[in-house]
Amino acid sequence: ASDVYKRQDLAAIAAMKTGVEISVAGGVKANTAAQVRDAGATIIVAGAAIYGAADPAASATEITKIAHG
Q: Is the pLDDT of residue 1 over 60?
A: no
Residue 25, C-beta contacts closer than 8 angstroms, at least 6 positions apart: 45, 47
Phi and psi angles of residue 18, each rounded to the nearest 5 degrees, phi first: -75, -15
pLDDT reported for residue 7: 80
- How confident is the model over 15-67, as pLDDT tens digits? 999 999 999 998 899 999 999 999 999 999 999 999 999 999 999 999 999 99
Contact 33, 67 (CB under 8 A): yes
> Mapping DSSP to helix (H, G, I), strand (E, B) and coil, where does residue 3 land?
helix
CA pair distance 49, 28, nearest whole angstrom:
7
